[in-house]
Amino acid sequence: MPESFTTLLQKSWTYFAGHIKPILIAAVVFGIILHFAQASLAHKTMGSMEDRLGSLDTVKMEELSERIENGDEQAFQEMMMELGVLGESGEIYEEKMQGMAVEFMTKLLPSIGVFTIVMMVLSLISFTYFSILAVDDTQSALHIFRRTPGLILPIIGISLWSFLRSFSWIPFIGFIPGIIIGPRLIFAGVILIKEQKGVFDSVKLSYDRSSGYWGKIVGNMILMMLCLCVAGLLLMIAVGIVGMVVPLFIGIITGALSYLYTAFAAIFTTQLALTVMAYPMRPQKVL
């Protein structure tokens, strides 16, 4: 009989705590990269704003900003007038506002594009890393990092093929097939890593082996996400308190925490996959 949610949660936490070293190493590495990517985008944003406001009276703008923070509505109108988007009689220069917005976004688009690519690559690498960690019972972060590059493309393939199998039906019969099929394909990554099957075979086996377990999969994943939300809220409160004492590293700590959630989710999904696939509802085909 498949294990209960409480047992899965306990086993996942035991595995998580037992592999905390490679988890923390990766979380810190990914957190640092994320922090510097965010800092770079923020620097570019501030640089664009300073270029745009360079011709303005900075002392007066700072004074207006302080008044706005104190709730002075008149100060906001004065600031808009300084920026040239509001006339003395209160008329709004919409073309000027649109021009400023377009100019600002045009300068930022390359930075936003690079940041988006970095985030996508980082998410893919971290997901692959923690998926390998959840399957391979190893304490070596180096071993996992070495396996990660070779599994990135297959993981992408599984994601794309699972998406197509789940949601390609939407134009014809709506979202219902995606809701029914999608949850049954989440074990494909575990099968790929553990059994070294191909992309298509992994997705097919995930669908076959999860037959009859749709409710258990969806219910357990929802409960797991709720637990992570509660834990995340408590951790963010703690991080906020720490940030008041050690503000220098708060960005890295926050980034690292987000990857700890990813690690636990990967471990829980793997534990769920193992217990479901250990008790198939119907005879399994050998591929």
Report the candidate in 239, 185, 190 with the shortest Cα–Cα distance to residue 217.
Answer: 185
Q: Among all chains, which residue has been given the structure tokens 């180096």?
A: 142
Give the sign of the dihedral formed by CA 162, CA 215, CA 221, CA 188.
negative
What pLDDT shows up at residue 209? 93
Q: pLDDT 10s digit of each residue in the chain, 287 long?
A: 889 999 999 999 999 999 999 999 999 999 998 888 877 777 666 655 555 555 555 666 667 677 777 777 777 677 777 666 666 666 665 666 666 666 666 766 777 787 788 888 999 999 999 999 999 989 999 999 999 999 999 999 999 999 998 888 777 777 788 888 999 999 999 999 999 999 999 999 999 999 999 999 999 999 999 999 999 888 878 777 666 655 556 777 888 888 999 999 999 999 999 999 988 876 565 55
Residues facing 92 on adjacent strands: 86
DSSP 98-111: HHHHHHHHHHHHHH
Q: Quick one: DSSP state of residue 92?
A: B
What is the pLDDT, as a whole number, of residue 213? 94
pLDDT of residue 7: 96
- The pLDDT of residue 261 is 93
Q: What is the pLDDT of residue 53?
A: 53
> How confident is the model at residue 112, as a pLDDT?
77
- Least Cα distance to 166 among 129, 126, 197, 210 occurs for 210
Task: Give just the sign of the alpha carbon dihedral 169, 175, 177, 182.
Answer: positive
- Six token digits for residue 221: 């994943």
Residue-level pLDDT at 42: 72
pLDDT of residue 109: 75
pTM score of the predicted model:
0.78
Q: What is the reported pLDDT for 91? A: 63
What residues does each domain of the chain span? 5-47+120-277
Assign 93 to helix, strand or coil: coil
